[in-house]
Amino acid sequence: MACRRWQHRLLSPPRVRYNHRVKIDATDGRARATTLATPHGEIATPIFMPVGTRGTVRTQTLAQLESLSAPIILGNTYHLMKRPGPELFEQLGGLHRWIGWTGAILTDSGGFQMFSLGEPDLLTPERSMAMQRALGSDIVMVLDRCIDSTSSHALAADAIEVTRAWAVRSKAAMAGSSQQLFGIVQGACYEDLRSASARQIVGIGFDGYAIGGLAVGETKAQREDMTELTAQLLPADKPRYLMGVGTPLDLLEAVHRGVDMFDCIMPTALAQHGIAFTTRGKLDLRRGVHRVADQPLDATCTCEACRRHSRSYLHHLVKCSEPLGWQLLAHHNLTFYLALSRAMRAAILGGTWSAFYAEHRERLAAVDIDNPPGPKPKQHRRPPITRGNFAVHTGVDFTSIRHIPSGEVMHSINDPDEEARRIYVEQSVAIADALAGRREIVVWDVGLGAAHNAMALVHALDDAEHANVALHSFEIDLDALHLALAHTKHFAHVRHPGPHLLAQRGQFVREQLTWTLHTGDFLETFAVAPQPDVIFYDPFSSKTDGGLWTLEVFRTLFAHLAKPVELFTFTSSTAVRSSLLAAGFDVARGVSTGPKVETTIALANATPALAKHSRLGRAWLDRRARSTASFGADIPPEQHAEVERAIRSHAQFAADPAVD
């Protein structure tokens, strides 16, 4: 009997077609209070949608979510397709039933994840729509091409054309479905492209419209300008959704400009770091001022964190990294966001929006009114730690190496160890085979530097039982390595015998690994090393170390390679990719890292086993034709036509893929 009651509770109501022309309850200026009907209840806007990416809002139980009175949550097609996959949802009756949620669900299409996680070919419009059908979400998003909001006009123009084509295909794939389908407007921060994209997407016709491609690099002023421009180009009788935004102040500003719906991971993500949004400003519970603070987090809030615990106790949980602290602060932040949504709606319905907006612009921008952070004490600068041409560079969260003559910093924005793992180890088919014990491989590490890339592989081998890898590192100047080895306090990755023995003896050997050092010019030393299966290509950039990024070097290297090879590098430069193609390599997209939307993979003597890598297609060639830097500086103008023919006639462009 208990089982039958549970099953009855989880069954979704019958699917009927709901007209998503919004009921506009009130307007005050451009701010709107509307009501949307869905099969799982009505949604009163403005509304913030908690993000349940993988079928759960992080740290929150179903009971906690229900206590928020949130009428709708968000799930993500990309992540749910990767795990547990569409077959499970088809078998068990959709996402609502699987997680036990009786409210509405909106599913994002996965376009942003393809952009941010560097898997551009994982989804097609048809595959995304099929997955969202299986999920049974109330609101479905078309697949769009998301790019960095600070991208060039040419790249943004290409993205809106892809977005338009994918929108048409998405709508066709959803024909006959009772789910509501929202189109997405792109265009980065260009008024003409935003306007063009809005005309295109509205012309196709959807149940609602989203403003995409913001909160990915632009300034606050740019985001607000693009939001206002785009919102006014969207139909008044359809929902307007600003994707991935943002802080409470961002929500207020967007409602002021005519937006109805929002989502963002910020309430739960910042809670993990001790950040809470309150009516007394944004609080950082990590600050020592809260250690003995006996007052509640927010005296006006009724969430469990505020009703039952002091700031002192929450400070303790945060400083100890106790999961309960994250859970309590996440629930508080979500409560704050939902309460703000209801307060904004009440102000619009009451005709007091202008006063509410003016008051809350200042209130929501405040930081800890009771204990405002003071100026940081002046710190006496210590002399830089240097060796030869290199210095220790201390960032906010990590330490790296700076090249003194050029000023170039190795890994200036991204954590060096995380970047090394993502770019050079995790993408490789050959390394995956070696870690699984299926084959022996040779890896070339070109540009040893402070050994971040090499140590990412060494640490991966630490957890492998049957691997067999020969690692060959090439470096002309060992001062960066010696600097890291002498300051292991700053460089945790070299707290390992391997790099120390390598520097002393030129080789480090253990059961799974033979690591050999080659000093000197790479072009004069690589011929003595065994043929590689994988190459980590990580010299300084072409501005600092231009001699290793030339077409001649790539041609010499390609001619030397006698078996299938994967080459990974941090750059996504059009000129470098062009030289690799002209040298004979197949060229594919690598994962994103930090501000880079893509990195680069080059393949020599490619085999079907390497088919997982997403090779550049003809659309990339078209974008390259519009680039002002399509040839390396080492290629004289009289050779441009020859190199252009070599690129255009490359075998990887023989088949014209439908989508790049």
For 627-643, what is each residue's pLDDT tens digit? 777 898 899 999 999 99
Which part of the chain is CATH 3.40.50.150? 414-653
Closest alpha carbon to 129 in 180, 203, 83 = 180
Maximum Cα interatomic distance, the chain, rounded to a whole number of Å: 83
Contacting residues for 294 by C-beta, under 8 A, at least 6 apart? 310, 311, 312
**Is 260 noted as a catalytic residue in this protein?**
no
**Is 138 noted as a catalytic residue in this protein?**
no
Closest alpha carbon to 485 in 471, 506, 503, 472 = 503
pLDDT digit string, tens, across residues 366-384: 999 999 988 766 666 678 8
pLDDT digit string, tens, across residues 535-578: 999 998 766 677 899 999 999 999 999 999 999 999 988 999 99
* Res 660: pLDDT: 42
* Res 13: pLDDT: 40
Question: Pairing state of beta strands 275-278 and 31-38?
Answer: unpaired
* Res 450: pLDDT: 95
Closest alpha carbon to 406 in 315, 295, 542 = 542
* Res 59: pLDDT: 95
Q: Is the pLDDT of residue 204 over 80?
A: yes
* Res 259: pLDDT: 98
* Res 19: pLDDT: 62
Alpha carbons 491 and 392: distance in angstroms, whole number: 10
Q: Is the pLDDT of residue 328 over 50?
A: yes
Please report, rounded to a whole number, the percentage of residues in the chain having pLDDT higher than 90: 76
Please report, rounded to a whole number, the percentage of residues in the chain having pLDDT higher than 70: 92
Alpha carbons 308 and 114: distance in angstroms, whole number: 42
Alpha carbons 458 and 451: distance in angstroms, whole number: 10
Which part of the chain is CATH 3.20.20.105? 2-16+23-264
Higher pLDDT, 493 or 114: 493
* Res 9: pLDDT: 35
Alpha carbons 390 and 481: distance in angstroms, whole number: 10
313-335 burial, b at 16+ Cβ within 10 Å, e below that, comes to bbbbbbeeeeeebbbbbbbbbbb
Residue 519 three-state SS = strand
Sheet containing strand 139-141, edge to edge, reads: 47-49, 261-263, 240-242, 208-211, 180-185, 139-141, 104-108, 72-76
Q: Is the pLDDT of residue 84 over 70?
A: yes
Q: Is the pLDDT of residue 306 over 60?
A: yes
Handedness of CA 575, 151, 590, 391 (dihedral sign): positive
Task: Report the CATH fold assignment for 2-16+23-264.
Answer: TIM Barrel (3.20.20)
Q: Please, what is the average pLDDT of the chain? A: 90
CB-based burial label for 505 (10 Å; 0-12, 13-18, 19+): exposed
Q: Where do the DSSP E strands lie in 483-575?
A: 507-509, 513-519, 534-537, 565-569
Q: Is the pLDDT of residue 96 over 60?
A: yes
pLDDT band per the 50, 70, 90 thresholds, residue 4: very low
* Res 379: pLDDT: 61
Q: Is the pLDDT of residue 363 over 50?
A: yes
* Res 272: pLDDT: 94
* Res 380: pLDDT: 65
Contacting residues for 505 by C-beta, under 8 A, at least 6 apart? none
Lowest-pLDDT choice from 104-108, 159-163, 330-334, 392-396: 392-396
* Res 112: pLDDT: 82
Q: Assign domain 414-653 to its CATH superfamily.
A: Vaccinia Virus protein VP39 (3.40.50.150)
pLDDT digit string, tens, across residues 577-616: 999 999 999 999 998 876 567 899 999 998 776 778 888 9
Cα(first)–Cα(last) distance of the chain, in Å? 54
Sheet containing strand 41-44, edge to edge, reads: 23-28, 31-38, 41-44
pLDDT band per the 50, 70, 90 thresholds, residue 85: very high
From the list 260, 263, 417, 660, the catalytic residue is 263
Alpha carbons 189 and 183: distance in angstroms, whole number: 18
From the list 108, 158, 260, 415, the catalytic residue is 108
For 215-242, what is the mean pLDDT? 92
pLDDT band per the 50, 70, 90 thresholds, residue 119: low
How many angstroms separate the Cα of 184 from the Cα of each of 117, 139, 325, 597? 20, 13, 36, 20
Task: Enter the pTM of the model.
Answer: 0.60
pLDDT band per the 50, 70, 90 thresholds, residue 396: low
* Res 511: pLDDT: 86
Sheet containing strand 390-394, edge to edge, reads: 386-387, 390-394, 399-403, 409-410
pLDDT digit string, tens, across residues 455-469: 999 999 988 888 999
For 25-49, what is the mean pLDDT? 96
* Res 6: pLDDT: 29
How many angstroms separate the Cα of 376 from the Cα of each of 372, 373, 598, 621? 12, 8, 37, 50
Higher pLDDT, 627 or 623: 623
Higher pLDDT, 436 or 597: 436
Please give the single-letter amino acid code of residue 280. Answer: R
Q: Is the pLDDT of residue 397 over 80?
A: no
Q: Is the pLDDT of residue 58 over 60?
A: yes
Higher pLDDT, 182 or 623: 182
* Res 542: pLDDT: 67
The 10 Å Cβ neighbour count of residue 219 is 11
pLDDT band per the 50, 70, 90 thresholds, residue 5: very low
pLDDT digit string, tens, across residues 150-188: 788 988 999 999 999 999 999 999 999 999 999 999 999
CB-based burial label for 201 (10 Å; 0-12, 13-18, 19+): buried
